[in-house]
Structure 1
Amino acid sequence: MALAGAAPSVAQTAPAKTIGLAFDVGGIKDGGFNQAAYEGAQRAAKELGLTIRTSQPKKATEIGQGVSPLIRGGAGLVIGVGYANNDAITRTASEFMDSRFAVVDDLPKGKNAVGLRFREQEGSFLAGFLAGKQSSTGIVGFVGGVDVPVIQKFRAGFAAGVKFACPNCRVVTAFVAKTSAGFNDPKAAAVIAASMTKQGVDVIFPAAGGSGQGVVNFIKGQPCIRAANLPAGVTFKSDLFAAVAKSATYKKLCTTDSRPLFFIGVDTNQNALGDFDKKVNTLNHGLTSMVKRVDNAVYTIIKEYAEDRPWRGGDRSFGLSNGGVSVAIDSHNRALIPAALETSLKKVEQLITDGVIKVPTQ
């Protein structure tokens, strides 16, 4: 695991057997990084004999309120899942110097606090590369939950990957909201997806937590884009998926002058969400997923704490070189990504890890 900008190690009291997780909105089963963090914590708990306690805010204004109660309830390490927990983690860390703290997706202050951050731009570059290669219209979309630095890394990497694969392609960008509520508003995200398809977008990458389900829901109801509905000046440039078997619903709703719509999953492998008819041999509407291994990061920091290793505050960085991010290719989307394209994808990944391709962060 790479370590960047770490603060000096500090003494630690005997590790407590209780670990606290303070979630962002969306809950344990959000299909995103809340869920991934919980799975990593559960893996560590099972292996090390720990107890996991959680705080689950029901709305954005409640984020962070559970941090102090988790510490006072006996947790020796509290992990805030999501940047919105940073203020509460930083404040509580300064009050409980003998306890340990971490934030997923942001860098808290204090020698007893660590930031578990990811090079999302690297995985997003690969997702953008696939979108640029596989788009039928040359126009793809990015839906961010909120316009904040971590989401800008997703957007910047994605846009750069699209342009690397297809210099003439265009990326349409929109954000769900101006507050953390943007990560848990699937209805708003579905409206954005509808607007994007009217602009000719046929691949949408939502980096928006639970809101991303709205994009999936929209594509499930409208699985294709028709030539007659394309805006002026936009035409289909390819028909790459003509030979892929289609579902009965797709055949009913989509004529020969149509092309399929796709989403790109985020945080966890969400490819299966695009298998609308539950038949793996028919066309999947999840082109790929940009997997952020929050589970590995959370597991690692809990294990270090529980094994009483020297604690170092500061920034932990997870990317392509150390298994922190990846794009998912499995039985669901294999037909969408030919072997030659997968080979090219691996070459691009190597160029990134070798430092030949410098992926932007904003």
Structure 2
Amino acid sequence: MSAASIILALGTAQAAPVNVGLAFDIGGRNDRGFNQGAYEGALRAIKATGGKITTSDPKERKEVGSGISGLSLGNQLVIGVGFSNNDAITQAAALHPKTRFVTVDDVPSGNNTMGLRFRENEGSFLAGYLAGLQTSTGRVGFIGGLDIPVINRFKVGFRAGAKFACPTCQVRTANIGDTVAAFNNPKVARQIASAMMDNGVDIIYTAAGASGVGTVDQVRARPCLKAQTLPKGLQFRSNAYASVPKSAAYKKACAGESRPTFFIGVDVNQNALGDFDKNPATMNHGLTSMLKRVDNAVYSIIKDVSSGIEWHEGDRSFGLSNGGVSLAIDRYNQALITPKVQQQIKTVEKLIIGGGVRIPSS
């Protein structure tokens, strides 16, 4: 938080119901990502504190932010999910000084505003570290939405983590577009993922909102790389998944010398999307998900308002040290990540929190 934060007293410390206005970004509340995480956190908080949630769910990019003015009436707290809502949040905050306004992923202006931002580079470092440890080809990929600071934090963290685990590994990167439409373009994401696979990339991390479905679809269409199709001069260097049970469909499609392909999910736990045969006991193609705990951040701010905790204008940061980011390990991917590797990840996480590993942010 800024040292010059302006503190607004909210009253007594007694918990009280809070009416929350929640403005989604494009993709809506069921985007299996950023919006969904915010909504789940709000639901959890309202269940604990009382009150109600009113939402604005844009159907087109031009509608993002348009519902915030209406949400400003009758709600004590208005939350805009995603940086695209920030201008509208700032404008509404100036018109409604007694209402609290929050932007997730950006910092609005006004002493009744707050930005909830994340150290995505920390969680992405862990995702890259895992990819670097387990890649079969020594080539991993990152697909971002567009060239903006928040996406760059994902990218540089992932690249640094992969290099930390595997200095000789190559990290291929690409952005989907140069407008916010890049966050809802799974077709182009799939095309990029396909080109990366053609170049021997076997693990792809996508931070591009609803576009990430395109990467999942490409992994589903091409669940393995075959030795005879690898680029000239590239050979398989390991097989971390040799003992993982595989479905009959996978064995048929990937007969011969081959290695599985994987996506890494983002924002919420997307591991289950890699269960292509609907059997968690066989190999999953979601290696892990980098959880950007928007749910925890939204839950935290609603609880603070409900409890009457003093309001701090400015930036509130969430990372590994305070439950803001993490990797998802569950029944879908536990067989892919051995106990030894899980322990290595925990060791690296402690080093990051303790300052022993410095992660770039841009």
Same fold (TM over 0.5): yes
1:255 aligns with 2:272: no
Distance 1:16 1:329, change over 3 A: closer
Paired letter, 1:93: A
Residue equivalent to 1:328: 328
Contact 2:10 2:309 in 1 (8 A): no
Structure 1 residue 241: Cα displacement: 1.1
CA distance in 2, matches of 1:32, 1:94: 30
Deviations 1:145-164 (A, max 9, x none): 12111110000100000000
Residue equivalent to 2:7: 9
Paired letter, 1:21: L
Structure 1 residue 16: Cα displacement: 7.5
- Once the two structures are aligned, what percentage of the paired residues are identical? 56
Structure 1 residue 98: Cα displacement: 1.2
Paired letter, 2:133: K
Q: What are the ranges of 5 or more consecutive residues in structure 2 without an aligned counterpart?
A: none
Residue equivalent to 2:179: 179
Residue equivalent to 1:217: 217
Structure 1 residue 126: Cα displacement: 0.3
Contact 2:18 2:305 in 1 (8 A): no
Distance 1:235 1:92, change over 3 A: same
Residue equivalent to 2:240: 240
Structure 1 residue 233: Cα displacement: 2.2
Structure 1 residue 256: Cα displacement: 2.2
Contact 1:182 1:211 in 2 (8 A): yes
Paired letter, 1:47: A
TM-score (normalizing by structure 2): 0.96
CA distance in 1, matches of 2:211, 2:10: 39
Residue equivalent to 1:39: 40
CA distance in 2, matches of 1:92, 1:318: 25
Structure 1 residue 114: Cα displacement: 0.4
Structure 1 residue 6: Cα displacement: 6.3
Q: Which moved more, 1:236-245 or 1:113-122?
A: 236-245
CA distance in 2, matches of 1:348, 1:150: 22
Structure 1 residue 4: Cα displacement: 5.3
Structure 1 residue 13: Cα displacement: 8.0
Structure 1 residue 263: Cα displacement: 0.4
Residue equivalent to 2:55: 54
Contact 1:41 1:52 in 2 (8 A): yes
Structure 1 residue 17: Cα displacement: 3.9
Residue equivalent to 2:30: 29
Distance 1:4 1:131, change over 3 A: farther
1:148 aligns with 2:148: yes
Contact 1:267 1:293 in 2 (8 A): yes
Residue equivalent to 1:310: 310
CA distance in 1, matches of 2:4, 2:143: 32
**RMSD of Structure 2 on Structure 1 (CA):** 1.5
Q: Which moved more, 1:201-210 or 1:42-51?
A: 42-51
Structure 1 residue 344: Cα displacement: 1.1
1:63 aligns with 2:61: no
Deviations 1:97-121 (A, max 9, x none): 1111001111111111001011110
CA distance in 1, matches of 2:223, 2:66: 41
Paired letter, 1:138: G
Q: Which moved more, 1:121-130 or 1:59-68?
A: 59-68
Structure 1 residue 309: Cα displacement: 2.2
CA distance in 1, matches of 2:179, 2:306: 35
Structure 1 residue 308: Cα displacement: 2.4
Deviations 1:112-150 (A, max 9, x none): 100101111000000000000100111101011121111
Distance 1:13 1:95, change over 3 A: farther
CA distance in 2, matches of 1:4, 1:126: 28
Structure 1 residue 307: Cα displacement: 2.4
CA distance in 1, matches of 2:38, 2:29: 8
Distance 1:6 1:339, change over 3 A: farther
Contact 1:4 1:317 in 2 (8 A): no
Q: What are the ranges of 5 or more consecutive residues in structure 1 without an aligned counterpart?
A: none
Alignment of structure 1 residues 218-297 onto 2, 5 Å = 218-297=218-297
Structure 1 residue 339: Cα displacement: 1.4
